[in-house]
Amino acid sequence: MIRLNHVSKIYHMGGEDIYALREASLRVRKGEFVSIVGPSGSGKSTMMNIIGCLDNSDEGEYLLDGESITNYSEKELAKVRNRKIGFVFQNFNLIPKMTAAQNVELPLIYQKLPSHERAERVKWALEQVKLYERREHLPAELSGGQQQRVAIARALAARPSLFLADEPTGALDSKTSREIMGIFKDLHEQGNTIVIITHDENVADEAERKIRIRDGQVSEVVES
């Protein structure tokens, strides 16, 4: 599903070339649950932006579902994001003035789905994360864990081929973090492809496969 071949991202600063990623290669197969783990400044965010079609690489090739998107325009990248990728962010990225249901529905409006189908998907997605009874609540009326559940439901409702989670437990306490990781495990058992970007080794260990990134370089973690 995901294939990065010798991908580099280079920033030009003060007459110098700074490699955020240096010839990074990785593979994620359909249905896998993979974590990409590394410290701050390791290149995790750059990796996420490229995998999530939020940015292009400067060198190498990126294939998503067998489709090379290395040279896509911003408009083309936006279409891929909307169609194939469900994002879950550390800070939830919910719209404060919208209810939980309205936040979940928003990407479906962008997909131009009819209202009856949007309503069915919103109900189903919120039921999956056990929050349908809180559908009329605003984000400020929900706990951090509940807000992250809404964010997961929003990703679910769009029926993406890939769930991409960036530090999904970073703003949560340990108990709530375990609950959120439990949801990701359930999604994986249902056949979904999940990639989690994290600095937390405990979170990374929850995945079935762990990839380490440091100084822009990627290596597979092989357990002894």
Q: What is the DSSP string of 75-112?
A: HHHHHHHHHHEEEEETT----TTS-HHHHHHHHHHHTT
Q: How does the average pLDDT of the chain come out, rounded?
A: 92
Q: What is the pLDDT of residue 83?
A: 85
- Sequence-distant (≥ 6) Cβ neighbours of residue 112 within 8 angstroms: none
Q: What is the pLDDT of residue 14?
A: 84
**Superfamily for domain range 2-11+31-220:** P-loop containing nucleotide triphosphate hydrolases (3.40.50.300)
Q: What is the pLDDT of residue 223?
A: 53
How many angstroms separate the CA atoms of 106 and 201, rounded? 33
Domain parsing of the chain, residue ranges: 2-11+31-220
User: How confident is the model over 50-66, as a mean pLDDT?
Assistant: 92
Token pair of 40, please?
Answer: 């701050």
Q: What is the pLDDT of residue 222?
A: 53
Q: Residue 26 has what DSSP assignment? A: E
pLDDT band, residue 224 (cuts 50/70/90): very low
CA distances from 177 to 41, 55, 59, 169 (A): 23, 28, 36, 5
Q: Give tens-digit pLDDT for 18-43.
A: 999 999 999 999 999 999 999 888 99
- Sequence-distant (≥ 6) Cβ neighbours of residue 82 within 8 angstroms: 107, 110, 111, 158
Lowest mean pLDDT among 29-33, 50-54, 57-61, 74-78: 74-78
